[in-house]
Amino acid sequence: MTEPVGVRIKRLPHGHGLDLPAYATSGAAGMDVLAAENVTIKPGQRHAVATGFAVAIPDGYEIQVRPRSGLALKHGITVPNTPGTIDSDYRGELKVIMINHGEEAFAIARGDRVAQLVLAPVTQAKWSEVEELDETGRGAGGFGSTGGHAKLA
């Protein structure tokens, strides 16, 4: 595990009383983030869940908003834009977009752990436009060109 990277976090008025996003275990990749509101998401519906926090991510990093597998497996509650991207220059409230793919309405209570935040290094690309690209064995083959799933014997 590399050294933790400092990230500034600001508690918004409706975030008062909520725990900061936190790693549930010492080796966790993601910090569980809590809902700052009570909301019920009906089947097929989506909602941007407030977290009550804004952050200032250091240059060279992003935060990815990822679903929690337990909510996905047990209730069909997931993050449709996963991994959600929190840009280093974003200063608004961090929100978790959630969609209910299940059959039942899902009630989120303030303080529930709704998603997880992964701090990740990011490198910006600088395009170099060319007339021709180098040739490779794969060439333009893709989308299953190397074979499908294993055949049954």
Ligand X SMILES: O=c1ccn([C@H]2C[C@H](O)[C@@H](COP(=O)(O)OP(=O)(O)OP(=O)(O)O)O2)c(=O)[nH]1
Q: Does 84 bind ligand X (CB under 6 A)?
A: yes
Give 45's contacts (C-beta < 8 A, 6+ positions apart).
99, 100
C-alpha span between 34 and 77 (Å, rounded): 15
Nearer to ligand X, 94 or 106 (CB): 94
Which one of 71, 86, 108, 117 is in contact with ligand X (CB under 6 A)?
86
**Main-chain dihedrals φ then ψ at residue 34, nearest 5 degrees:** -95, 150
Q: Cβ 70 to ligand X, closest distance in Å? A: 19
Would the annotation count 76 as a binding residue? Answer: no
Shortest approach of ligand X to residue 25 CB, angstroms?
23
Looking only at residues 47 through 66 of this chain, which bind ligand X when binding is defined by CB under 6 A?
65
Cα 19 to chain centroid distance, Å, stands at 19
- Rounded CA-CA distance 42/104 in Å is 7
Task: Note whether 95 binds ligand X by CB under 6 A.
Answer: yes
